[in-house]
């Protein structure tokens, strides 16, 4: 921890519990970047409901003492917590009430998804990947602070920088900052700053293998906001692991099995007696060699994504999914005697109906047959199949931003049907999301600055109760037209994927048409607009 003299004190705030922040790579990337700057004195803050005032975990200093507060926004549910932290530090919540320092900025995934419900509390938003331009913003702010400059002048300075949205000062839409080289190499993969027993993933070095995803699933925001898809190089990851010398590595990525060096890297870790963990895998990427290696090295569970209840729905959402490959993977997983198979699915798709549920019940029987086939006469294999079902929340910058969601009663009916289907089979377990949460999440994901009063109230009494009090506001947000010409709050940003492309993909969803994955380079495709976006200099 640095002394403050001659430096700009920065509060880097993760508005959730410390165990989540210590397991979030993006926030740690920003911390590493800021902590390496001599002109900055960065300290960490988390949400601690037991503390009457937010205090730095590094020095114990109060949040209200810092001239620059940076919020890392990872989920829409962070909005009320960010407000509560400002309130508890006696910092005026609304930006219009803060004429002088502190300056309150935000970044993170939600900042280039839809940050606008929280916009009245913010002086500015950093839009994009920190590695691509946050340093320039910090240079300008440190210079202004150390020169005794006013906050208004500092905001005018950073408003001209690429990736910064300062209301009333920046030219809109503000372009997302990303590596514009067009390379499919991930030059600076993220990795943990802190390997802690207090983290959600205990004592594990998290390591980013890839960023973005080429498959174009129509519900997936990550597929849009992290374009173009990029992979880290084997040597780069080996160098990071060698330098950090962890006991366990957690590989993070949206399409791990697409990385051609996955198995060589896992073998390299094994040779050094370093344990590893993988996130969700694609069934069509599970080769016999990979599965055999995972089981041999002690992996006891495999996680696969079903996404939709029927073939029709999976095709509509552009989920490149082979039922045959999936069932073959289940058989191999069982034959190799993994203990648990975890399946994930989403319900609430546009036009989802009981025919889809009936098909799912039949497919569940085929999964059970595949499991038993893998067990053979030994009756040894996968002991537990766990199905988790969540409710669809259409996100900004996806084709489903034009979609509505069913009401709570519909979700309850769907969950009851899935639970009953799973209950027919011994050794299967069901977990379903609370349908009431879907309405709240949809409200936050689709709202704009007009819902800020509800967030202020939520900071006091909780989101669920606040949404009840502001029921008429919720109804108004849900009643907005969702036609071709509808203007969304988040279109004050430009993430690189064109509106025309997104609407064409929405039309394809409604007609059950599929689109191919991204090719090796954007100029080969030119479908979504990223080729144009990457060719423009930052600030254009």
pLDDT band at 200 (very low <50, low <70, confident <90, very high): low
* Predicted confidence band of residue 526 (pLDDT cuts 50, 70, 90): confident
Residues 39, 9: Cα–Cα separation, whole Å: 9
Question: For tokens 């090295």, what's the residue?
Answer: 297
- pLDDT tens column, 160-193: 999 999 999 999 999 999 987 777 899 899 999 8
Average pLDDT, the chain: 93
Consecutive H or E run containing 41: strand 40-46
Chain-centre distance for alpha carbon 314 = 21
Closest by CA to 389, choosing from 360, 353, 425, 369, is 360
Residue 83 has pLDDT above 60, yes or no: yes
Structure tokens at 222: 């990550």
Does the pLDDT of residue 202 top 70, yes or no? no
Whether 199 shows a pLDDT value over 60: the answer reads no
Amino acid 505: pLDDT: 98
Residue 514 has pLDDT above 80, yes or no: yes
For the chain, give me the number of helices (H) and strands (E)? 19, 17
Ramachandran angles phi, psi of 212, nearest 5°: 80, 175
Pick from 329, 325, 346: nearest CA to 338: 329
| Cα–Cα distance for residue pair 288/294, rounded to 1 Å | 10
For residue 75, what pLDDT is reported?
A: 94
- Give ∠ CA 179-180-186 in degrees, rounded to 5: 40
Q: What is the pLDDT of residue 255?
A: 85
| Higher-confidence position of 196 and 468 | 468
Q: What is the pLDDT, as a whole number, of residue 347?
A: 98
- Spacing of C-alpha 239 from chain mean position: 26
- Give percent of the chain above pLDDT 90: 84
Look-up: residue for tokens 């067990």?
Answer: 375
Task: Give the global pTM.
Answer: 0.94
CATH number (1.20.120, 3.40.1130, 3.30.1070, 3.40.50) of 8-175 reads 3.40.50
Q: Determine the pLDDT at residue 201.
A: 61
The beta strand positions in 234-320, using DSSP E, are 248-252, 275-278, 301-307
Q: Residue 43 — very low, low, confident or very high, per pLDDT cuts 50/70/90?
A: very high
pLDDT band of residue 198 (cuts 50, 70, 90) is low
Over range 420-429, report the average pLDDT. Answer: 95
Q: What is the mean pLDDT of residues 114-128?
A: 98
The mean pLDDT of 355-367, rounded to a whole number, is 97
As a whole number, mean pLDDT of residues 68-97 equals: 98
Average pLDDT score over residue span 30-51: 95
pLDDT at 230: 93
Residue 422 CB neighbour total at 10 angstroms: 20
Q: From the centroid of its chain, how far is CA 341? A: 23
Q: Quote the pLDDT of residue 381.
A: 78
| CA–CA dist 186, 253 (Å, integer) | 12
Q: What is the mean pLDDT of residues 99-114?
A: 97
Higher pLDDT pick, 197 / 471: 471
Rounded mean pLDDT, 392-420: 96
Least confident of 8-12, 195-199, 258-262, 431-435: 195-199
279-310: pLDDT as tens digits: 778 888 889 999 999 999 999 999 999 999 99
- List the domain boundaries for the chain: 8-175
Band (pLDDT 50/70/90 cuts) for residue 6 is confident
Secondary element (H or E) of residue 42: strand 40-46
Task: State the average pLDDT over residues 38-50.
Answer: 96
Q: For residues 400 and 505, give the distance between their C-alpha atoms in angstroms, rounded to a whole number.
A: 9
- For the residues 108-114, what does the mean pLDDT come to? 96
Question: By C-alpha distance, which of 114, 135, 111, 133 is closest to 124?
Answer: 111
Residue 272 in this model has a pLDDT that exceeds 80: yes
The stretch 203-232 carries a mean pLDDT of 93
Encode pLDDT of 442-456 as tens digits. Answer: 999 999 999 999 999
Tokens 């994504």 locate to: 305
Taking alpha carbons only, the member of 282, 279, 298 closest to residue 206 is 279
> Where does the pLDDT of residue 238 fall: very low under 50, low under 70, confident under 90, or very high at 90 and above?
very high
Supply angle C-alpha 396, 17, 131, rounded to 5.
Answer: 55
Cα separations (Å) of 538 from 2, 161, 174, 303, 456?
32, 9, 10, 39, 35
Poorest-confidence range of 197-206, 216-225, 233-242, 316-325?
A: 197-206
């Amino acid at each position: 921890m640095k002394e403050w003299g001659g430096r700009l004190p920065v509060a880097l705030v993760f508005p959730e519990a410390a165990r989540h922040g210590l397991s979030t790579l993006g926030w740690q990337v920003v911390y590493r970047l800021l902590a390496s700057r001599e002109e900055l004195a960065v300290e960490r803050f988390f949400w601690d409901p037991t503390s009457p005032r937010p205090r730095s975990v590094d020095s114990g200093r109060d949040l209200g003492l810092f001239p620059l507060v940076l919020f890392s926004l990872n989920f829409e549910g962070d909005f009320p917590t960010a407000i509560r932290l400002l309130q508890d530090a006696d910092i005026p919540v609304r930006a219009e009430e803060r004429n002088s320092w502190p300056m309150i900025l935000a970044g993170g995934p939600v900042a280039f998804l839809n940050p606008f419900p929280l916009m009245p509390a913010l002086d500015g938003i950093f839009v994009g990947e920190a590695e691509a331009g946050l340093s320039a913003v910090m240079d300008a702010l440190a210079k202004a602070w150390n020169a005794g400059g006013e906050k208004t002048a500092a905001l005018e300075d950073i408003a001209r920088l690429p990736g910064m949205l300062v209301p009333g000062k920046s030219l809109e839409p503000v372009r997302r900052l990303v590596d514009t080289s067009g390379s499919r190499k991930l030059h600076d993969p993220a990795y943990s700053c802190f390997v802690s027993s207090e983290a959600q993933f205990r004592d594990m070095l998290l390591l980013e293998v890839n960023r973005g995803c080429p498959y174009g699933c129509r519900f997936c925001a990550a597929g849009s906001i992290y374009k173009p898809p990029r992979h880290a190089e084997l040597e780069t990851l080996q160098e990071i692991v060698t330098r950090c010398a962890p006991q366990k590595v957690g590989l993070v990525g949206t399409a791990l099995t697409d990385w051609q060096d996955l198995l060589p890297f896992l073998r390299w870790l094994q040779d050094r007696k370093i344990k590893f963990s993988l996130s969700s895998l694609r069934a069509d990427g599970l080769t016999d060699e990979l599965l055999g290696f995972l089981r041999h090295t002690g992996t006891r569970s495999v996680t696969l994504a079903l996404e939709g209840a029927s073939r029709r729905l999976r095709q509509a959402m552009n989920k490149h999914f082979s039922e045959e490959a999936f069932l073959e993977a289940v058989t191999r997983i069982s034959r190799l005697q993994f203990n648990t198979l975890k399946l994930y699915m989403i319900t609430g798709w546009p036009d989802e109906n009981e025919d889809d549920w009936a098909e799912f019940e039949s497919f569940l029987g085929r999964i059970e047959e595949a499991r038993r086939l893998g067990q053979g006469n030994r009756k040894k294999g996968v002991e537990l199949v766990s199905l988790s079902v969540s409710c669809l929340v259409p996100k900004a910058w996806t084709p489903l931003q034009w979609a509505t969601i069913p009401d709570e009663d519909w979700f309850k009916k769907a969950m009851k049907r899935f639970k009953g289907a799973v209950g027919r089979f011994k050794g299967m377990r069901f977990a379903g999301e609370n349908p009431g949460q879907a309405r709240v999440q949809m409200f936050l994901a689709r709202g704009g600055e007009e819902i800020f009063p509800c967030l202020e109230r939520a900071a006091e009494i909780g989101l669920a109760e606040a949404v009840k009090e502001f029921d008429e506001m919720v109804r108004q947000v849900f009643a907005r037209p969702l036609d071709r010409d509808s203007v969304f709050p988040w279109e004050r940003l430009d993430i690189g994927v064109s509106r025309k492309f997104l609407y064409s993909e929405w039309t394809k969803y409604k007609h059950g048409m599929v689109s191919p994955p991204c090719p090796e380079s954007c100029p080969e495709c030119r479908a979504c607009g990223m080729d144009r976006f990457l060719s423009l200099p930052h600030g254009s």
